[in-house]
Amino acid sequence: MASKIPRVVFKNGASIPMLGLGTWNSPPGQVAQAVKNAIEVGYRYIDCAHIYENEHEVGEGIAAKITHGNVKRDELFITSKLWNTYHQPDKVLGALLVTLRNLRLEYLDLYLIHWPMAYREGDDLFPLRPDGKRVHFSDVDYIDTWGAMERLVEAGLVRNIGLSNFNSRQVQRVLDVAIISPATNQIECHPYLHQAELTEFCHGKRIIVTAYSPLGSPARPSAKQTDPILMEDPVVQKLALKHAKSAAQVLIRYQIQLGHVVIPKSVNRGRIVSNADVFEFSLDADDMQQLAGLERGGRTCPESFSFGHPHHPFEGELRKARR
Ligand SMILES: NC(=O)C1=CN([C@@H]2O[C@H](COP(=O)(O)OP(=O)(O)OC[C@H]3O[C@@H](n4cnc5c(N)ncnc54)[C@H](OP(=O)(O)O)[C@@H]3O)[C@@H](O)[C@H]2O)C=CC1
Ligand SMILES: O=C1CO[C@H](CO)[C@@H](O)[C@@H]1O
């Protein structure tokens, strides 16, 4: 079945579907089926990561759909992310090979550096200090990691490479040394956290913004603990009523109209279907403005285990907001 999901073009001419399926917190026993459901209804982009510890099952879902002839490998767009304990340049290839084995793939369409901070290398994905609150840092610079990512493209193991959770200064440092420019910066993005300056910066450099937690990640508290649930916000609810759509559809459509790629997560078939049914209505200029007015610095993914790390991308901003 052909997919109705439009694609956007990276600076290098490759393209990515504007909507993909998130898989963080998609539990074992459910995620393979979620991936199969998503592919059946036209999703082609699946967003994965080693740290989600479910790539093995995601791979099962992908393999089943390819084997049954529902989709061809080259119609899919599979993204994964290099975890923080594998930033040392000589660890990057090994980390990718584990991901490829788990996903049962020969190549990835996109591989991202998940965070700019490196953690102490080893088998423990969160190597905690004795206080149990913060991780052991490693002093690898993400610039050196980027060089190793470029070599994966040269080796034909990944088609595109990019960043995730990098601030604009960090993106610029990568651009300053890059032979291959980052295709995307995957960042938290929704009406409570627009990241307006960072998205403008990325667009200026022809780096596509991928919006994660576009529904405000309702199952988790925000970093400030005091933000309301985005999908229950009266403005979002009013616009849902106006367009006879769900709150989730309004929020997903909003990211698309901002020109972002968007990756809502669900393991529920009905929601997987409805979250992709966002290409036959539009928000008008007034709707867009109302959603833009909801900004409140409502970050849900602060990676607070690594506060104090010299490469933490937004610790300063969070501390200022808490004062
Ligand atoms: N690069 C990074 O650092 C990060 C990347 N990500 C990526 O982005 C993806 C999405 O972000 P995530 O934080 O998961 O949060 P989302 O904003 O996508 O919200 C997901 C939650 O919303 C629920 N949900 C989904 N659709 C609907 C709907 N139509 N109505 C009501 N509830 C709904 C889901 O439950 P249910 O499954 O039961 O439907 C789940 O609890 C992640 O899964 C991951 O792939 C996320 C965080 C960080
Ligand atoms: O994508 C993400 C979700 O899980 C991770 C760790 O638990 C986060 O660090 C990350 O940003």
Task: Tell me the mean pLDDT per 10 residues along the chain, length 323.
Answer: 89 98 96 98 98 98 97 98 98 98 98 98 93 92 98 98 98 98 98 97 98 93 76 98 98 98 98 98 98 96 93 84 65
Task: Give this prediction's pTM.
Answer: 0.97
Q: Rounded CA gap, 224 and 63, in Å? A: 40
> Which ligand has its closest atom nearest to the C-alpha of 162?
1
CA distances from 240 to 9, 151, 197, 280 (A): 29, 46, 27, 14
Q: Is 33 in the pocket of ligand 1 (CB under 6 A)?
A: no
What was the ipTM of the complex prediction? 0.98
Distance 140 CA to ligand 2 centre (A): 19
- Give the length of the chain: 323
In the prediction, which pLDDT does 287 show? 98
Whether 76 and 62 have beta carbons less than 8 Å apart is answered as yes
The protein residue with its alpha carbon nearest to ligand 2, atom 11, reads 301
Q: Is 112 in the pocket of ligand 2 (CB under 6 A)?
A: no
In the prediction, which pLDDT does 317 show? 79
- Give the tokens for residue 164: 């995730």
The protein residue with its alpha carbon nearest to ligand 2, atom 2, reads 24
In the prediction, which pLDDT does 1 show? 61
Q: Is 185 in the pocket of ligand 1 (CB under 6 A)?
A: no
Reported as half-sphere exposure (CB side, CA atoms, 13 A), residue 94 has a value of: 10
Q: Is 164 in the pocket of ligand 1 (CB under 6 A)?
A: yes
Does the annotation flag 309 for ligand binding? no
Q: Rounded CA gap, 118 and 177, in Å? A: 19
Distance 267 CA to ligand 1 centre (A): 9
| Given the residues 45, 52, 192, 254, the one annotated as active site | 52
Distance 83 CA to ligand 2 centre (A): 9
Q: Is 187 in the pocket of ligand 1 (CB under 6 A)?
A: no
- Going 114 to 117 to 122 to 127, the CA torsion angle's sign is negative
- Give the tokens for residue 12: 């290098």
CA distances from 20 to 48, 100, 263, 265, 273 (A): 10, 19, 5, 8, 12
Active site (annotated) includes residue 43? no
The strand pair at 208-212 and 261-262 is best described as: parallel
In the prediction, which pLDDT does 227 show? 81
Q: Is 211 in the pocket of ligand 1 (CB under 6 A)?
A: no
In the prediction, which pLDDT does 219 show? 86
Q: Rounded CA gap, 155 and 93, in Å? A: 10
Among 165, 301, 314, say which to mutate for ligand 2: greatest number of ligand atoms within 8 Å of CB. 301
In the prediction, which pLDDT does 226 show? 74
Distance 119 CA to ligand 2 centre (A): 13
Atom of ligand 2 nearest to the CA of 24: 3
Atom of ligand 2 nearest to the CA of 81: 1
Whether 119 and 306 have beta carbons less than 8 Å apart is answered as yes
